Amino acid sequence: MIPMLDLKLQYRMLQKEIDSAVAEVLSGTQYVQGPNVRRFENEVAKYLQVKHAISCNSGSDALHLAMRACGIGQDDEVITTPFSFAATAEAVAHVGATAVYVDIDPVTLCITAESIEPAISPKTRAILPVHIFGQAADMPGICALARRYGLQVIEDCAQSFGSRLAKQHTGTFGDASCFSFYPSKNLGGCGDGGLFATNSDELAAQFSLLKNHGCETRNRHHAVGWNSRLDELQAVILRIKLKHIDQFNRQRVLAASHYASLLGPLPVQIPRQTDDLSHVYHQYTILSQERTGIIDALQKHQIGHAVYYPIPLPRQKAFSSISRSLDLSNTDRVCRRCISLPIFPEISHSQIETVADTIKQVHAG
């Protein structure tokens, strides 16, 4: 069997350091709002080269509270992608705003300034681009458009930790950004976790207020807030993994390059590396008209795979009545053809070759 993801290998590599650090936290008994949380936030801020990095309970919480911190609410519109996980849409819905979906680029699978501009209306308050599968969206173009129309930009970086455009990290282009540390992510913990990043003192203060029951000081509540904290155990594990994130991402890029060399000659669309680490391959997603046959073959050979995502967000029952969309021709085509293949830093060349050979057999008939 070739798994979609193998977390055991990374744990074994770091086991001695992780076990020692976790034991120290357990013996210290400061499990919430401890020193490792503060150190992790400082280390992420330094890594991203951003002024504020504020941890929270999950990437979903980061997105939701980012909307609140940015003042987005009832009757506002947020332009975003229809090709993403539900958390992107939920963040907009939870604040009472309307998600306006625009089509994705057929190669990067991200929204672009060209697709966004026709959707801007007097109600538009923000743009929410998603760096899907670890592929950086065109942030210079999107941010230039946002400045021209006076809009905020909130980056959904749940799948793109470590991705860069011209040596600048995703998550540092817009007004704010949101990250997820779910175990399967490029930088993943041993449970849930998230982070909000910004260079704005005002947004950082508002997010910090909202994530901590609306408190600036104990028993003084200035807003109706939430309880959204990264715990000390997750923080100490993430601090260890952060030291290796560039190595892990380079290993993903090498795996993707091997896939590309094997799958390139086939009638499938493969992801492209367009800049230095502009794609960090949280998923290795191809497009094929033979998706059903590929799935059957992979299942037969016990090879992990997944379809991210089969249904555009505005066509999901939960969001269909609280959103609007423009033409989504590219998105519909991608949703019919996309399939994600096994990828993780430790995947071997022989495993990749087995996956590729299985797909070749399908196309050979």
The beta-carbon contacts of 316-322 under 8 Å, at least 24 apart in sequence, are 316/86, 316/89, 318/86, 318/89, 318/93, 319/86, 319/89, 319/93, 319/99, 322/93, 322/98, 322/99
As given in the structure block, the two tokens for residue 137 are 């969206």
pLDDT digits (tens, 9 = 90+) for 253-285: 999 999 999 999 999 999 987 767 799 999 999
Helix residue ranges, H only, the chain: 7-28, 35-48, 59-69, 86-94, 113-116, 139-149, 201-211, 232-242, 245-263, 291-300, 329-337, 349-364
Residues near 196 by Cβ (< 8 Å), separated by ≥ 6? 52, 53, 54, 55, 56, 62, 65, 66, 69, 176, 177, 178, 179, 204, 207, 211
3-state secondary structure of 74: coil
Residue 36's pLDDT band, with cuts at 50, 70 and 90, is very high
What is the pLDDT at residue 218? 84
SS3 303: strand
Domains and CATH numbers, the chain: 7-242 (3.40.640.10), 245-364 (3.90.1150.10)
- pLDDT, residue 123, reads 98
**Residue 166: which pLDDT band, with cuts at 50, 70 and 90?**
confident
Of 17-26, 73-82, 321-330, which gets the smallest average pLDDT? 321-330
Q: What are the C-alpha distances in Å from 84 to residues 29, 33, 134, 143?
A: 38, 31, 12, 20
Q: What is the mean pLDDT of residues 293-322?
A: 97
Task: Examine the pLDDT at 216 and tell me if it is beyond 90.
Answer: no
Residue 217 banded pLDDT, cuts 50, 70, 90? confident
Residue type, 145: L
pLDDT in tens, 94-142: 999 999 999 999 999 999 999 999 999 999 999 999 999 999 999 999 9
Q: Give the tens place of pLDDT for each residue, 12-23.
A: 999 999 999 999
